[in-house]
């Protein structure tokens, strides 16, 4: 905190003056989203999984058909807050941060034949009964094994770095693939990977299928765990996800894996040995995680 309320010689007013900040900003506490907006975000999230190609206008019209009084401005703000957008090829509409390098996509025509050849990561919005959080996960592409995951109430790069550090403590991929989100293009994130000798791959802008397996993971997690349970707060959500990812990796059979579990494929061992092997890395909720609090930006 830049302002120290109990400073021995400087009042709060004087500290704010020195920092060039209005004193009122020190006392301001941001409000969470209204119950109505949280309900809208839940509807948008569910519909986005069904029709990821819906843009703001289409989503607005769909919500109106569902009886919601909304306009495109409101829907656009909520979709931005959730970190989602329509998935379709489109012209470049934004410029990356000048200090953030964009890396080429390395997976085109690549045959993935073994664990730890390619890891992929992404962030998704997770609704709760009161508020929402963001979830980042790192998945082994070949086995669908969730190597690490982390929850946060903000979209800063910190929780992605914590997730990455947990994953790298367990192993090293040859290639790490992400989208072009600012968290993944930041120098701190890419620097971690380069220091470990990991090749960095990034999806093409507007190409929804470049990171398809982790997109499928989000759909599975939400339909099987998040939506049916509607967790009350972040602590309950963390506990639920901890149990679910253990189930997903060690017990859930995948037809695409020949009805084996991700842990069996990742570790290359029997189910009994896979249970004894390392499980998915779990992390604590990042900052301000209090019982019954509404989480929002």
Calculate the CA dihedral of residues 116, 122, 127, 130 and round it to 10 degrees.
100
Q: What b-and-e string marks burial along 207-242, b requiring 16 or more CB atoms within 10 Å of the CB?
A: ebebbebbbebbeebbeebbeeeebebbbebbeebe
User: Could you tell me the two tokens for 206?
Assistant: 């507007």
Claim to verify: residue 170 and residue 234 sit in the same structural domain: yes
pLDDT the model gives residue 279: 52
CB 216 within 8 A of CB 156: no
Claim to verify: residue 187 and residue 250 sit in the same structural domain: yes
Claim to verify: residue 159 and residue 61 sit in the same structural domain: no
pLDDT the model gives residue 95: 40
pLDDT the model gives residue 31: 58
User: Could you tell me the two tokens for 198?
Assistant: 């990991």
Query: CA 249 from chain center: how many Å?
Result: 18
Who's near 1: CB < 8 A, 6+ residues apart? none
The helix (run of H) or strand (run of E) holding residue 120 is: strand 118-127
Low-confidence ranges of the chain (pLDDT < 70): 1-3, 18-21, 23-32, 87-99, 205-210, 270-297
**Is 102 within a domain?**
no
d(C-alpha 180, C-alpha 185), whole Å: 6
Taking alpha carbons only, the member of 116, 110, 167 closest to residue 138 is 167
d(C-alpha 46, C-alpha 70), whole Å: 17
User: Could you tell me the two tokens for 11?
Assistant: 């009042």
Claim to verify: residue 131 and residue 52 sit in the same structural domain: no
**Is 188 within a domain?**
yes
Claim to verify: residue 42 and residue 26 sit in the same structural domain: no
Who's near 5: CB < 8 A, 6+ residues apart? 12
Sheet strands side by side (includes 132-140): 146-152, 132-140, 118-127, 175-178, 199-202
- Would you say the pTM of this structure is higher than 0.85? no
**Is 137 within a domain?**
yes
d(C-alpha 54, C-alpha 261), whole Å: 33
pLDDT the model gives residue 12: 74
**Is 94 within a domain?**
no
pLDDT the model gives residue 282: 47
CATH of residue 171: 3.30.420.10
* Number of domains composing the chain: 3
Question: Residue 58 is part of which domain span?
Answer: 35-82
**Is 100 within a domain?**
no
Claim to verify: residue 123 and residue 258 sit in the same structural domain: yes
Rg (CA), the chain: 21
d(C-alpha 177, C-alpha 185), whole Å: 11
Task: Give the CA angle between residues 161, 167, 173 to the nearest 5°.
Answer: 110
């Amino acid at each position: 905190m830049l302002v120290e309320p109990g400073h021995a010689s400087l009042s709060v007013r004087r500290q704010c003056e020195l920092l060039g900040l209005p004193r009122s900003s020190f006392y301001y506490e941001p409000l969470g989203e209204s119950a109505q907006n949280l309900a809208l975000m839940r509807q948008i999230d569910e519909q986005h999984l069904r029709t990821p190609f819906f843009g703001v206008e289409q989503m607005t019209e769909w919500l109106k058909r569902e009886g919601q009084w909304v306009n495109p401005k409101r829907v656009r703000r909520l979709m931005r807050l959730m970190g989602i957008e329509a998935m379709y090829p489109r012209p470049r509409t934004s410029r990356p941060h000048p200090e953030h390098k964009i890396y080429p996509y390395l997976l085109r025509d690549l045959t993935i034949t073994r664990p730890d050849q390619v890891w992929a990561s992404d962030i998704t919005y997770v609704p709760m009964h009161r508020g929402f959080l963001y979830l980042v996960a790192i998945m082994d592409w070949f086995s669908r094994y969730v190597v690490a995951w982390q929850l946060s109430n903000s979209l800063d790069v910190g929780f992605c770095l914590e997730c990455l550090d947990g994953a790298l403590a367990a192993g090293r991929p040859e290639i790490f693939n992400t989208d072009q989100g600012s968290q993944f293009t930041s120098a701190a994130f890419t620097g971690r990977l380069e220091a470990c000798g990991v090749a960095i791959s990034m999806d093409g802008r507007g190409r929804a299928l470049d990171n398809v397996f982790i997109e499928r993971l989000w759909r599975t997690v939400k339909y099987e765990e998040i939506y049916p349970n509607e967790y009350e707060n972040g602590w309950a959500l963390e506990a639920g996800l901890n149990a679910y990812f253990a189930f997903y990796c060690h017990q859930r059979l995948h037809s695409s894996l020949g009805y084996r579990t991700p842990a069996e494929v990742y570790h290359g061992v029997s189910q009994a040995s896979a249970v004894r092997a390392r499980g998915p890395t779990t992390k604590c909720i990042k900052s301000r995680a209090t019982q019954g609090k509404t989480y929002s930006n």
